Structure formats: C-alpha cells, structure tokens
Amino acid sequence: MPQLWELTAGELRAALARGETSCRDVAQAHLERIEALDPQVRAFVTVTPDAALKQAQRWDDARSRGEALPPLAGIPVALKDNFCTTGVRTTCGSKILGDWKPPYDATAAALVREAGAVLVGKTNMDEFAMGSSTENSGLFTTRNPWDLNRVPGGSSGGSAAVVAARMAPLALGSDTGGSVRQPAALCGVVGLKPTYGRVSRYGLVAYASSLDQIGPFARNVHDAALLLNAIARHDPLDSTSAPLDTPDYTAALTGDVRGLRVGVPREYLAQGVRAEIRQAVEAALEVYRGLGAVVEETSTPHAEYALSCYYIIAPAEASSNLARYDGVRYGIRSDEGKDVLSLLETTRDLGFGAEVKHRIMLGTYTLSAGYYDAYYHRALQVRTLVKQDLDRCWERFDVLVTPTSPEVAFRIGEKSDDPLAMKLSDVCTIPVNMAGTCAVSLPCGFHDGLPIGLQVIGRPFDEGTLLRAAHAFEQATDWGSRVPAL
Amino acid sequence: MPKLSLSEVEHVALLARLRLTAEEKTGLTESLNVILGHFEALQQLDTEGVPPTTHAMVLQNVFREDAARPSLPREAFLREAPEARDEFFVVPRVVDT
C-alpha cells in the first residue's frame, strides 16, 4: 500500500474520489513529509500547515455534504515565493521585502485555490528570479534532493525540489530564461513554460515583463496538464494575457505520435553540452522514431546570440521593474535615510544581493543615454532574428527536441566565481522565452545518479501538441518514477 | 566597445539609486566589463532593416471600460508599510527649502 506522498496528483484525485482517503489525511501526510525532509532540502521559505489543514477540511466537509468538488480538491501545491499570496509572507528570495505580506493574491494563486488545491507553502528562489541555481537567494540555499551537495537549479529551485522530494505533487514556478525548465531538468521532474500570455502574470512579482511566464512543476505530464488547466485563463487584470479559451490539456494526451514531425536544431547540441547529455537526447530521439515520429535535423542559426541578447534585455527590464523597491511602501527601510536619495540608495544597498545589483547596473547602463542604441535596441533586433528562426520551424515541424540543460546538477559554490559560467546553464532554454513560445522539460535519463532533462519546444499556444509529444515519450520510458533516496 | 570606467559605474549607480561600497564598485566594474565584452558578438550581426521585438505576442490597445470599480481598502496597503501615518506613507522631506 503506497504512502499518500508517493501518489501523483492524478492518483490522489482517484483515491479521494473512491473515498479511500480524505483531503485532511492527504494534507497531513505531505505536511509530515515536509517536516521530516525540509530541514535537509530547505525548499520552503514559509510553510502554511494551519491554513492547509483548514482548506483540506473544507473540501472534506463539502464532499460529505454531497457537493461536487473542483478538479484539484485536496491536492497539495507549493508556490514560488514571487507569487503574491494574501496574508502569507512573500519574499521573492530577497531581504528587501522583509516580512511583507501581500494584501492580494496573484491570479494564478487564486485560480489554484479555486481549483481546490491546498497551499502547503512558499518556495525558495534566486533573488527576484535572477539566477540558475537558487544560490542567489538572499535567504538560504536550497539543495537538490538527488544530492544535497548540489544545486536544484534556478530560479525556481525550491518548487522543483518540493516536487522531486515528494513534499507536494504539484508546484508553480516562473520562467524568464529557463527558470522552470532548468530546475525541472536538474531535479528530474516535469516543468512547463506555457506560451507567453497563456497564464496571467498579475500578482507575479515582475522580473522581465516581456519574458516572465508562470509554469507548472509535476511528476508526470498528466499532472502538469491538470495544473495547466487550472491556470491557463484570460485575465483582464493582465494586459498581456491572451484572449483565449482554455482547452482541456489532459484530453490531448492520446499517446499517439505517429507522423509527429520532430525537428532537432543542431545548434542546441553544440559544444558546451556535455557528452552524457547529448547521448541521452540521442537516445530519446530513437524512442521518438520507434513511436512513429519523423525526426529530422534542422538549424536555428541565431541561437548562439540569444544568450547575449537575453542578458541585455532582461536586466534592462529588471532595472525598471526593480525601481519600485525604495523602502517607502513595502519591505525594509534603511534608517540611514535622512533625505529621499539616501533613503532609496541605502535601502536598496542593504536589501539587494550581489547578482540583483549586478543586473540592475547592467540594465541601467544599457538603457542610459548614449548606449541605448548600441545595446538595447540592437538586442531587440537580435530578438527578432531569434524569434524568426523558431517561427520558421513551425512550417516544417510540430515540435523541436533539444537538451534542457547543458549539464547535470553542479556542486553548490562551483560556479560562484565566474559570472559567465552560471549564465551558460540557460543556453538551451533562453531562445524559447525570446520567441515567447512554449516548452517543457521532462526526465530522459541519469548520469552518476543525477537527472537529465529533455526539452520539447512547441508552437505558440499549441500546448496540446507539446504535451502529447512529451507524454508519449514519458509513457514509452520510465525515467520519472525513480525517487531520490532521502 | 569601450570598457567601463569607475566614474561611469558611479554615474550608473546614481541612476540606479544604489549606494555601493568601494569594493562593490571595483567588483562590478570588472564583472560588467566581462559581460560587455561578451556582447561584442552581437555587433557582428547584420541587423539592417530588422524590426525590434519588444513583445513576443503582439496585442494592441488592450483597454477596459472607463468605469470605476472597487479597489482594495487603503488600510490593506498602509498596514504593510515601513512607516505610515493617517492615509499617508511617511517619507523624508522631499523638497529642500
């Protein structure tokens, strides 16, 4: 008889529907697992046990009254700590917000609650989502459940670790340059970045507004589709929200990929990608061929410029978005502020970590008079070229397959001294954000006991085909069922 | 691309409202120059006639009815402020007399 925390969201739904367990027991089991494991993993900034048990009880009461339950009733979920959650501390992994509790919910947080999911806590992240390892958190470092001396990836490292360690079956993160997909790869779970505009950004604390997108973490593609169903909505509170209906993404999981046209852009398997990663991806392509998909190499020639392009655009947008942290309306305030300028300067110096300061400085510089054309404007043009490369692929292919991360999880502290080394972690994921389309990472192997992620990229707003492709691979292999030995 | 000087870094820090220590300034000058060197590659690309992309998905004029709707109560925000009094956020004097 499996433990409740071993079950996927889909299995928990079925067990609850059959009356084999209660929402309260499900919540309790996960809260106990969090208590047992999180002192080692350190995925959570805030755990919300009382609220979780109360919510769970509410659904049990509704069920006993014979009421129909929403699709995720009783399923535990964790949210990255850049999601505003009413009355629950929200830090964005930064000291600058202090103990701030938002007075409103992010739309995605509210939707997840309305779908019945039970919030167990807020997860650790790189500060303001800037980073690829969660080492940039201003609070503490999260560990990879597969090897506690290694990073979980970032910036949504906490959410990925929660799902990998089975502390909750579902989590949400945010992805600006790969921050859902890369930690999913390093932690051996499924992580999806929907098309830009598919999920509302209202209440997601902004990093780079033209790139940010909320995405689900889960242990399998079906669970990810369940969570996507709950959050993919047009939202009038987000003017970049796509005015589209929500299909049932679970209905797309037919298991059939015969004739699926799979493109493999050769630039993504170039040098820098470790041999073991390349081998795992080649093996995955063989699986796709075996399932009847048509696999063909292709080229996205501007992919190598996407990284530089991102490190101009994202910091530029961030320098603008982070101007609001001034010690006036929320968070900490320096007591050295005798006038407005010193209030701002000292609060920000106290509250922001090194990487955030670095990116604010970079963004401010590239936007400043005299440099705007050389850097920012040119980067926007290169963004067009990167996007056009991907747009062109959809004429010949249904999905593209690449590695997610060029390597498996690295040691904590290994890349701290080299400002560029860390950033190379995102070389395969960044072009997708630049183009605004959707992509998912799912497990495709192990190297020395550490997970390897396969990235599947889909056509804009065609998450159905994307998830079908991912699901078929998952069903033909069994990489997601291994559990870290914690 | 010209390398960043310390005085340029100080100017940018002022624009960004960051009070940096001397160590932070030298550290940042170095690491910014490394990253800027990386951007040289972009200069080699031919971007003649290429329109800039600011947003991957183009929506235009996303408006709503110009009708008043209830907001969250003021207290909800003032409650979480570092310093508040009556209906105001308290700040140091802004105007020098």
Tell which residue, A115, A121, A199, A106, has the closest CA to residue A158: A121
* ipTM over the 0.90 cut-off: yes
Q: Which residues of A touch B22 (CB under 8 A)?
A: none
Q: Does the residue A379 lie in any domain?
A: no
The secondary element (H helix, E strand) that includes residue A122 is: strand A118-123
- Does residue A341 belong to any structural domain of this protein? no
Long-range contacts of A283-286 (CB under 8 A, 24+ apart): A283/A444, A283/A445, A284/A401, A284/A444, A284/A445, A284/A454, A284/A473, A284/A477, A285/A401
Query: Is A94 considered catalytic here?
Result: no
Do the beta carbons of residue A50 and residue A88 sit within 8 Å?
no
Q: What is the pLDDT of residue A145?
A: 98
DSSP of A319-372: HHHGGG-SSSSSS---TT-SSHHHHHHHHHHHHS-HHHHHHHHHHHHHHSTTTT
CATH number assigned to the domain comprising residue A255: 3.90.1300.10
> What total number of domains does chain B contain?
1
What are A433-478's pLDDT values in tens digits?
Answer: 999 999 999 999 999 999 999 999 999 999 999 999 999 999 999 9
pLDDT along chain A (486 residues), means of 10: 94 96 98 98 98 98 95 98 98 97 97 98 98 97 98 98 98 98 98 98 98 98 98 96 96 98 95 93 98 98 93 96 95 90 94 95 91 89 97 98 97 85 89 97 98 98 98 96 92
Percentage with pLDDT > 90 across chain B:
53
pLDDT bin (cut points 50, 70, 90) of residue B1 is low
Q: In the predicted model, is pLDDT for residue B2 greater than 70? A: no
- Give the pLDDT confidence score for residue B42 in this predicted structure: 87
Contacts with B79 from chain A: Cβ below 8 Å: 103
B37 part of a folded domain:
yes
Task: Classify residue A187: in a domain, yes or no.
Answer: yes
In a domain, B92, yes or no: no
Structural domains counted in chain A: 1
First to last CA, chain A: 20
B59/A contact by beta carbon, under 8 A = yes
Boundaries of domain holding B15: 1-46
- Inform me whether the C-beta atom of residue B88 falls under 8 Å from chain A C-beta atoms: no
**Beta carbons of A348 and B92 less than 8 Å apart:** no
pLDDT value of residue A338: 84
Give the pLDDT band (50/70/90) at residue B97.
Answer: low
CA distance B71 to chain A (A): 11
Give the tens place of pLDDT for each residue, B60-76: 889 989 999 999 999 99
Residues in A touching B82 (Cβ below 8 Å)? 98, 327-333
For the cut 90, the answer to whether the pLDDT of residue B93 exceeds it is: no
- Whether residue B65 is contained in a domain is answered as no
Q: Which of residues 61-80 of B touch A (CB under 8 A)?
A: 62, 64, 72, 76-77, 79-80
Task: Flag whether A334 is in a domain.
Answer: no
CATH code of the domain containing B30: 1.10.20.60
How far is it, in rounded angstroms, from Cα A417 to Cα A357? Answer: 16
Residue in chain A closest to B33 (alpha carbons) equals A362
| Residue B91, domain member (yes or no) | no
Residues in chain B with CB shorter than 8 Å from the CB of A432 are none
Q: What is the pLDDT of residue A420?
A: 76
Report if residue B81 sits inside a domain. Answer: no
Told to judge if A101 belongs to the known catalytic residues of this protein, a careful annotator would answer no
Say if B68 falls within a structural domain. Answer: no
Nearest-by-CA chain A residue for B37: A308
What single DSSP character describes residue A85?
B
**Domain-embedded: residue B69:** no
Tell me whether B49 touches chain A (CB under 8 Å): no
User: Does B84 contact chain A (CB < 8 Å)?
Assistant: no
Three-class secondary structure of residue A174 per DSSP: strand
Tokens encoding A371? 């440099």
B83 chain-A contacts, CB cut-off 8 A: 333
Question: Which residue range forms the structural domain that includes residue A138?
Answer: 4-263+397-481
Q: Closest to B54 (Cβ–Cβ): which among A210, A333, A345?
A: A210
Catalytic residue among A155, A156, A159, A441: A155
For residue A196, CA distances in Å to A211, A432, A436 come to: 7, 10, 5
* Domain-embedded: residue B14: yes
The stretch B5-26 carries a mean pLDDT of: 93
| pLDDT 10s digits, A33-50 | 999 999 999 999 999 999
